Structure 1
């Protein structure tokens, strides 16, 4: 990444996506992502070997699925039949971002509701099979004593 881009944080999710360029556009529309870099594959396939975006101040790397390499380490949720990983966004206005993501094509997995632990929280699945949890504090904590 160049000097002007976001520095590499100590822990960074790296998503494998079936259609990384389309995913970047979805994440831009859904979550306000900003593209930091894009490296196309050298085989002329149009796939992305590496890309990076920022969402809500955090860095996410992503790449296209390359099943032809057969190592199993580059499999997207579509290939695997789902994802066991959730990507969490803590947001100042969860309702606005939620609606933006749904309008962009996310599927509701868990409705956005006020939760007993003090967050307004819900889960979405993006068109590429990745699970996103979105939350904002409600200002109340029903667990407080």
Structure 2
């Protein structure tokens, strides 16, 4: 954790809205499933119940998330059609860890024609994650 110091963000950073006041649960899931590390303690809303902003690092990249805030026109119902991709060193290990943490297999992990071992899972909050790594040569 970075004790509240902001780190610069490069490229595109996904920012997820988590419904039903489950952002804390999502943070815990992403730690267990994908080895996420908190960059800082989450910023709480004035109601003391909802997370307004959380910043995580997963596999060298940033992920931001928050609870939904319908009063600001931000609702979380069904997530938008997006897939978050993780390019990792060992797809089998990452895929297995995600399933053990509570993800649901959406596309079985398999060797693909483009040279990656690739599969997809859906997290308990409705977001789809793809996991891929170069096929290991024996």
For normalisation by structure 1, the TM-score amounts to 0.84
**2:6 is the alignment partner of 1:9:** no
Report if the CA contact (8 A) 1:23-1:128 is conserved. yes
Aligned to 2:134: 137
Any stretches of 5+ residues in structure 2 without a counterpart? Answer: none
Tell me the distance in 2 between the aligned counterparts of 1:22 and 1:43.
Answer: 18
Aligned to 1:91: 88
For normalisation by structure 2, the TM-score amounts to 0.88
Q: Which runs of 4+ in 1 moved over 4 A?
A: none
Based on CA coordinates, which of the two structures has the bigger radius of gyration?
Answer: 1
What is the correspondence of 1:40-59 to structure 2 with a 5 Å cutoff?
A: 40-44=44-48, 46-59=49-62
Report if the CA contact (8 A) 1:83-1:131 is conserved. no
Aligned to 1:115: 112
Any stretches of 5+ residues in structure 1 without a counterpart? Answer: 141-145
> How many pairs are equivalent?
132
Tell me the distance in 2 between the aligned counterparts of 1:75 and 1:118.
Answer: 38
Aligned to 1:75: 75
Tell me the distance in 2 between the aligned counterparts of 1:47 and 1:85.
Answer: 24
Report if the CA contact (8 A) 1:6-1:59 is conserved. no
Q: Report the Cα offset of residue 10 of structure 1.
A: 2.9
